[in-house]
Structure formats: structure tokens, C-alpha cells
Structure 1
Amino acid sequence: MSAPLRNTAYTLQLHHRGELMTPLAQGGLWWEARRTLIVSDLHFEKGSSFARRGQLLPPYDTSVTLKVVEALVDEFAPDCVVSLGDSFHDPAAEARLSPAERLRIRALTARTDWVWVEGNHDPDPPAHLGGRGAKTFRLGDCVFRHEPTGETGEISGHLHPVARVAGRGRAMRRKCFITDGHRLIMPSMGAYTGGLNILDDAVTRHFADGWIAFAAGEKQVHMIDRKLLAQDHPASANGRRWRL
């Protein structure tokens, strides 16, 4: 069995319903006690969806996102992977995958117990790519679903939370995890996904009794001092909301 927490990049852990979990800079969450890797909002084939509408982007987002997931599966060797919905950007995304990308997805789902939680973009994940679909998935005291409801024990995605952190004359936007110890919202992992500021009411209303945010850096995750958080400028915030 691997011992990933010996890596100094994984020294920060969070408590969720009495369980220790490790937020990862790539945007995943590692639950060592259950050998479970959680990822969210992969949005495979978002680039090709934009291209169909005339917004031409380099068509490599699926490959880039797969590379991140493959590296995490290689490193942690999980018994289970839970993908928290919007794994595919739209119901036709699977048809736009290249043959090589289909093989890569099948290789991943063959290595572990893979759970595709249904999202608003992909209510019916394609069965022939392996794994199993679920509207919600429960493991221990945790419930995994795409859109947050505020249920105790919930780990969800959908909102693509990001933090705008001010400091030394400039501000950085980073993907982040937000939690109150009883419910947690994951960042998106998709290469072309935008994000919603965690100070937005759409995020904070799920944490009536307060919350803690953990921002993903280049190699490590950092707990954020809430005094350093800033709202997005209105123009940039409006431009990001529609990407969810």
C-alpha cells in the first residue's frame, strides 16, 4: 500500500464528519481511510462544445484533464474514484471524444471502482466507458452528489468555487475547497472550467454557521485567512457565472 501523506505537499488535511481528508493542489480530494479519490466537474469536451458555437479554443482540454486524473490514480492507487458530476460537458460529449481518449477513460474505470455521479450537464454518463452511474453515492457518513443541498455529510461540486486572494498590491484567483466540517464543496478539475467566487451568496448560503476555505496553489493547498479574500470585479464575475 502506498503512503502518499509522506509527501510534504500533502501535509494539510481537513476534517469532514470526523474523517481526515487531504485536499490536493490538482483539485481532487483524497480520503485515505477509504482509499477513495474524489474529483469534480471534469467537463470533458467543453472545448469542442464551444467550437460548435463558433468559439474556437485549442481542442485539448479533455486530454489535459485526463492527464491530471491519470497522474492522481497512478500516485494514490485508489480502491474507488468518485466523479461528482458534469464529468462530460453535455450529453453529446462522449460522441466527440477521440478514440484514444475513450481508451484512456476505459483504462481508468477498469483500474478501480469508478462512480460517475450524475450532473446537470450529464444526467446519463455513457455506460460503455465503464464505471457505474449514481444520482447520489453514500460511503460511511458521507454523501456525494453534484449540486449542494446543505445535507450533513455532503460532498458536492457544481459551483466551481474560487478564491480571489489579495496581497502585496495584486490579487490572485485560485480554485478552492470550502467546508464547515459537515459539508464540503469541491473545486472543478476541468481544464476549461471557470469559477464562482466563494464570497458569492450562491456558495456561502450553504454554510450558515461559518466556513473555512482551502486554496489550491501550484504544488500545495493552503488554508486562507478570510481577511485576505476579495470579491471579483462585477464584469469578471458576470463573465464567469455562466460557465457552471
Structure 2
Amino acid sequence: MNGYNFTLAGVELVALASGALFAPSKSWLCVSDLHLGKSERRARIGDPPLPPYETRDTLTRLEVDLKTTRATTVICLGDSFDDALAAQALPDEEKLWIAAMQAGRRWVWIEGNHDPGPLELGGAHMNELPLPPLTFRHIAQSGQSGEVSGHYHPKVTLRPRGRPVTRPAFLVDSDRIIMPAYGTYTGGLRSSDPILSTLMRPEALAILTGPVPQAVPMPR
């Protein structure tokens, strides 16, 4: 399995190359900020159009992660759709695709700031999910320990051989994880942004996604 192994609150976790988080002993797979339907929403509100392929690309990668990990619980950590109307506009073929991935698994949609959770799709819908010693929610809360959250879409730029390379990244310290965005068309917030520097401890790591996940001290 292509990933970076670490622990939070005593739970063994793997930051996968794709941007998903896997707990092997619990059989949990967590993904954050899918933002499915972003191209549909942009077209609907009159923004410059994007090629309408991001939902299929994101679901393809999720299906691969499910087959690789054989996870029995899936936690979608908020902003699964770009807005509530994007969830309703999802083509039937893609709704059936999601239903097929849900079959035989516990599937939890966490409420995000972009969407209340796709209520017409299967699975449980929750504001946050406590699975002690961890708690899964969309936006980090200062002072919380054992927390897994998303929302900020952290990214990190490295300069190997002088050439900048920017990748989505997990931010990890002894209290929390802030997940990278999993969606194909999502942007990102640099790890040096003050809000992320405030949330993360000085010793925090950034685990870069990509072909070979790489852990570095979190750039500030």
C-alpha cells in the first residue's frame, strides 16, 4: 500500500498517496472535500466553464482506494458536493456508482460548509462523527485532541533542484490531522497561512500526496 504510516491518539493510520486516510486496524477510510459537481455549479452560476469530468475522476480514485484497502467504513469529511444543488444534479449513472460503493459498507457523510450532506443519497448524515479516541468533523476546533478535519485544503510547495513542486498535503501533529482535499478540481491553502500555523503545533509534519508520499516539517 503506497502511503505514509503514523499514529494519532494511539490509532495507527496511513496517509495514502491519493489524499485518503486509512486506519488498517479499524478498516476506516476517510476522504475530505470531494467537491463533486464543481463544474456543474460553475456553469449554473455563469462562471467560466470547466471540463465536466471531475466527478468521474474523483469517484474513480475513490473506487481504487476502496478496492486497495477493503475498508468497511467510509467517512466523507464534509463538502462532498460543491453545493446542495450539485448533489441533486448528479447524473443517475454517478448516483448508482456511489450506491455500488456504499453496498456492504458503513458510509457517513459529514456536514460541510458547502453542503448539508447529500440527503437523497444513502448512508448516514452527521454533523460530526466521534469514533473514540478520534473525532471526525469538517472544520478544526482549537484545543481539540484526536481530531481529524478538512475544510482548508492544505498544500505545500517544495523546491527540489530549484524547481517548485506544489502538492496537496496532510498536516499532522500530536493533536490533529487536517486532511488534503480529495476532489479533482479543488484548490488549496498554503501551509504557511496564519490560520494553519495557529492550529498546528510547532513540530507538525506535512505529508505530501503524490506518487511517493513524503513527510517534511510543515512549512510556515
TM bin, normalised by shorter chain, reads: over 0.9
The whole-number CA distance in structure 1 between the counterparts of 2:201 and 2:28 is 28
Q: Helix, strand or coil for the counterpart of 1:184? A: strand
Q: Aligned-residue CA RMSD in angstroms?
A: 1.4
2:19 is matched with 27
Q: Helix, strand or coil for the counterpart of 1:34? A: coil
Q: Helix, strand or coil for the counterpart of 1:204? A: helix
For structure 1, the 5+ residue unaligned runs are: 1-6, 232-244
How do 1:92-103 and structure 2 match up within 5 A?
Answer: 92-103=85-96
Deviations 1:45-103 (A, max 9, x none): 00111122231110011111011111111111111010100001101012221110111
Deviations 1:164-183 (A, max 9, x none): 11221211101100111221
How do 1:76-225 and structure 2 match up within 5 A?
Answer: 76-123=69-116, 125-150=117-142, 151-218=144-211, 220-225=212-217
> TM-score, with normalisation over the residues of structure 1?
0.85
Q: Helix, strand or coil for the counterpart of 1:159? A: coil
Q: CA deviation at 1:225?
A: 4.5
Q: Helix, strand or coil for the counterpart of 1:71? A: helix
Q: Is the 8 A contact 2:109 2:118 kept in 1?
A: no
Q: CA deviation at 1:209?
A: 4.2
How do 1:34-49 and structure 2 match up within 5 A?
Answer: 34-49=26-41
The whole-number CA distance in structure 2 between the counterparts of 1:26 and 1:67 is 11
Q: Is the 8 A contact 1:110 1:130 kept in 2?
A: no
Amino acid at match of 2:8: H
> TM-score, with normalisation over the residues of structure 2?
0.94
Q: CA deviation at 1:203?
A: 1.0
Report the number of matched residues: 218
2:42 is matched with 50
For structure 2, the 5+ residue unaligned runs are: none
Q: CA 1:145 to 1:101, structure 2 compared with 1: closer, same or farther past 3 Å?
A: same
The whole-number CA distance in structure 1 between the counterparts of 2:104 and 2:64 is 13
Q: Is the 8 A contact 2:81 2:118 kept in 1?
A: no
Q: Helix, strand or coil for the counterpart of 2:47? A: coil
Higher helix share: 1
Deviations 1:132-180 (A, max 9, x none): 0110101120000001113111100000000011221211101100111
Q: Is the 8 A contact 1:110 1:131 kept in 2?
A: no
1:236 is matched with none
Amino acid at match of 1:33: S
